[in-house]
Amino acid sequence: MAYCTKTDVENYLQVGISATLDTQISAWITAVETWIKRYTDRDFEASSMIKKYDGKERNYLLIDDFTSLENVFFTANDSTADAGSREVATTEFLTYQDDDPNKTPYNKIVLKPFNEYGTFPFGAQNIVVEAIFGFATTVPCLLYTSRCV
């Protein structure tokens, strides 16, 4: 889903745009969306995904921006279904943006002290995180207005 549409641009500029320019308008919208993502280092369209991360024997894991965390697994043999894999209960960790628990999006999972695990086990792509990744469920109003121009 694009940050805006041809109709959004027409409404903002209060003009009609010829259908012969549809391809060009779509290309411009895509280019501006790509620029916004690169400039802000954020994806403003949140979506549910499963991503893998490397465990580093620390009590925290830095991951991509997320707004909601659904599941965390320590995997064995590259599979969450493997007998050696363990799901981390949501009561066993906290979520932060850097070191602030009150800001979103989050980008850090911290295991609680004295929990069953202690650290995220060392390994390549052995931590599986299912979350709503992205900056927000909607594009912020200021960004919405500026992206249409």
Q: Which residues are bridge partners to 118 per DSSP?
A: none
Q: Report how far apart, in Å, the C-alpha atoms of 126 and of each of 13, 31, 64 are.
A: 49, 35, 16
Confidence of residue 137 (pLDDT cuts 50, 70, 90): low
The answer on 93 and 33 residing in a single domain is: no
What's residue 51's pLDDT? 94
**Element of type H or E holding 34:** helix 22-40
Q: Look at the alpha carbons of 75, 81, 87, 90 in this order and tell me if their dihedral is positive or negative.
A: positive
Contact 109, 93 (CB under 8 A): yes
The answer on 81 and 14 residing in a single domain is: no
What's residue 33's pLDDT? 84
Q: In terms of pLDDT, which residue wins out, 109 or 44?
A: 109
pLDDT score of 143 more than 90: no
The answer on 79 and 51 residing in a single domain is: yes
pLDDT score of 32 more than 70: yes
Q: What is the mean pLDDT of residues 42-63?
A: 89
What's residue 24's pLDDT? 92
Q: Report how far apart, in Å, the C-alpha atoms of 73 and of each of 3, 55, 68 are.
A: 32, 11, 15
- Over the chain, what is the mean pLDDT? 84
Looking at the 3D structure of the chain, how many domains does it have? 2
Q: Which two tokens stand for residue 34?
A: 């790509």
**pTM of the entire structure?**
0.70
Confidence of residue 95 (pLDDT cuts 50, 70, 90): very high
Cis check for the bond before 113: say yes or no (omega within 30 of 0).
no
Note whether residue 66 is domain-resident. Answer: yes
Note whether residue 1 is domain-resident. Answer: no
What's residue 145's pLDDT? 52
Q: Nearest-CA neighbor of 13 among 44, 21, 36?
A: 21
